[in-house]
Amino acid sequence: MSQSFLIQHLLFTRDITIATLASTSEEIADVIPKTSTNNIRWHLGHILVTQDQLLFGKLQENSGIPEHYIALFGRDTSPSNWKETGGVPSLKELHTLLDSQKDRITNAFNDQLEKPLPKPFTVKSYTIETFGHMVAFATWHEGYHHGFINGLKRAVNEKNLWPAKA
């Protein structure tokens, strides 16, 4: 089975995210500069949770992530709530789940990109109607949060923004 361009692009984006995670220390992962409400660990977890919800939620499949991650990293969450939630994953745990999600996405969506979603999904004034469009949106979303991760690294004077290997 050959991979579609959309899946290849999603995997490329994910490999960059994983390489960025690998170049991030546990110490800087939890720093929240005064100009932000989230940290690097939150953005990495948010990427994981959002991909799962946007893609697998539309298939009504079981999630590949621990259930309590939604309370940690879902929409409108913040590390300021983590004391109440508990169970914050290590970077190693996030790495493992982000990496394994690639195979789940490839296996579930490579042959379904032209199929309509069970129910269209609207973001602002943009309506997403197929799994392919959802993969494209999810890839954009991951890149969007990668930009925040780089900004947070800059805020703590981290020089290693672009990973050597991806």
pTM of the predicted structure, to 2 decimals? 0.92
Cα separations (Å) of 124 from 27, 116, 121, 128, 135? Answer: 36, 19, 10, 11, 17
Structural domain contains residue 87: yes
Structural domain contains residue 110: yes
Structural domain contains residue 163: no
Structural domain contains residue 63: yes
Domain of 35: which CATH number? 1.20.120.450
Structural domain contains residue 126: yes
E strands of 9-146, at which residues? 116-123, 126-130
Q: How many domains does the chain have?
A: 1
Q: Nearest 5°: CA angle at 104, between 149 and 71?
A: 50
What is the percent of the chain with per-residue pLDDT over 70, rounded to a whole number?
Answer: 92
Structural domain range at position 22: 5-155
Structural domain contains residue 48: yes
Structural domain contains residue 16: yes
pLDDT, one tens digit per residue, over 80-129 is 888 766 689 999 999 999 999 999 999 988 888 999 999 999 999 999 99
Structural domain contains residue 160: no
**What's the mean per-residue pLDDT of the chain?**
90
| φ and ψ of 31, to 5 deg | -75, 130
pLDDT, one tens digit per residue, over 38-64 is 999 999 999 999 999 999 887 767 778
